[in-house]
Structure 1
């Protein structure tokens, strides 16, 4: 940092700044005694994370405010308005908050500042404006409490979205398992009945031995052949029905569809007919048919329970209940669990495309909070595509590595975000959804989780038919992180206020 030697403070010049225009002459005199005027050549004035040592007010020049994102400085504000202030403007809070610069400040041309040491600024504020200080303290911590309450509500909304999807998804396999269990009980009863008829005839010992071997062969053969198309299945069903009728097998109309479902054909029936006496064929085929139905129902129950288990595992992964709050997270695992839990809300008319980079490394962070971001962004994309009327669209979830950052992109084919409001989408309580359908909190909370908690970046690119929310997270964040969430944080739009350079 290159500076010119401080020059004498002019009280009348100080009064031209809106921050000081209402002060008395005595107060201006004290300011000039305690502070000084300083020129800075183009370059840095102070760095984010350093101890907040001074309060800066711009006389003339151009200042740029930046934030550190993924190890890089990202410009968030640029202004040349005289009177804007930056630096230790929270010094009046004392040790109630960490007194660190929460951004970096640089000048792009030779610029002139009034500089006041942080301790002096805090003392003046408390001595001159004691009531204002109490009001500001209440405003600061009140806003912080509101942010926490808003965050909690948004987390509950995200949890409600996931819970609704999970309930719906769990209901389907659970109901299927109940139906299959009831049907299986009936089939087992029929198996007992058919077997009793088989053994009722004397001198059938050798035939039953063959039948037992055929039963094992049948079970092994179920589902081995590739699945049939609807047309192939219909042809196979007709073929089996004709065979069963020709051989006088009872209930051929009910048995043929079961055999088709198990991928069993006339070659299987020919093998049974060749191994058993003709008078035993009817009972034997029906008995084996019951065995086939029982196996198919067992497969259905197994599939249903596996699906329930997968959903429970996805919910466990989503909630991170059994894991450390901060850990090295698998982004793909998070995305898959979130997509699974939101499958019912996404619906069958929206195509989900996973474009994952298989070489992606883990990302250090708070997985439960990142899952909340994925939920918000997927939910917004789904709503946008449904808002067009037909409800159809494509959601593409893409991951990639960009240098020392991980990119997670959510792209939808909805109508897009109007250009005149794109700069406001991350503002608290701003929403493009109709009244009652959106809180305006999801993107604000997502921005804070990504930028404040994970030192990443969240951006929007949108044109009709192609809207992309891009999340960038650092792969190797600094070991010592500034706890910026304990300070007043402003979203992207708030950083452009002409009075304060945050």
Structure 2
């Protein structure tokens, strides 16, 4: 029960008692009683107020304590949030630094891969592209944005490797290598090496395909091999030529003596015939009937042809006998084509294009003309016995900063790679037996490389034609050019 309620109850009790006592006591006593009652009521009221004040004080203290506790909790929670935010900011900073470092590393790796001349292609085990460097863009013309996430066979269908080889390489965890892959770019042959490296990581399984253009390496290797063969042949040719010359001279001398000893103009022949009761005419008729003269002529022609072969072989074993001097290459080429006019029936039309600003070159004009005739005749023979109206031979002369460049090209049947690889080897020929010695291009190669410090290369595509390219160093002290342009009708 509250103090106010108790006070009211006591006041009511005293009033009731006072009313009852008022009847028994005098008025003076009533006043005293009233004063006592009022004092008592005041005391009780003071006590109630005091208790209420104490209660209020305790409530305020409790509220204050709760407020302090709440403030402390808010402060602790705020400090905790600040600490958490600080940790979060630090973590975000570390993530940003890691992301920046990762981005810089990726950009660095991409820059490294894009700066490489090799084609670098990353693929998954299913053949989908994950990386496509700048060399791949340049080779295929397909941008990295268009190539990524596409299948390899859709983006690079000419790649000489299929999905089965990629899967086998990944399964075996061993690199796959394919060397000297031949491909045609325009009218030229190019070679490349292809390597597949298996890539096995926790996130993905795939492979890296690397393609290197080794055209220059293959050409240099072929040139070195050819030079080695020429050097070996030089020693062999010298010995063979001297060994063959002796019996060959005997054969030709014997044929010459047969002709002399059957000639009706020599008195000794007539006397020998009379001794056996014969005439020179009878002997001649007999030899004619039995075709002995034809046999002797065949022997003589074969002997002279063999002597020519020996002479060509000797060219490999000795330096040029021609004096090296500056000469007008355009004039030599023009004159050489004119010399072929007598063979026009067996030659297709020759289109001639000369750079008349070319300065003179150092060397032997006669030997270079021999090379030109060999190349043009070789091109003509590639067409076979029957020439088509479309058959053409193109002879052009240009220049680079350091070299004169002679090109002899035809649109004939071309050659297989295996044939082109051996075309400059001595005695190698695709002609029928008795129609060629296989030394024409070998001699030409020797003249250009050994006598003139130049180069000669062949590029051929089956069904499209063949191109021979001869490069001769310009003469450093020679100047001047061909006086007049010229084209062969």
Taking structure 1 as the reference length, the TM-score comes to 0.32
Relative CO higher for 1 or 2, CA cutoff 8 Å, sep ≥ 6? 1
Larger Rg: 2
Taking structure 2 as the reference length, the TM-score comes to 0.33
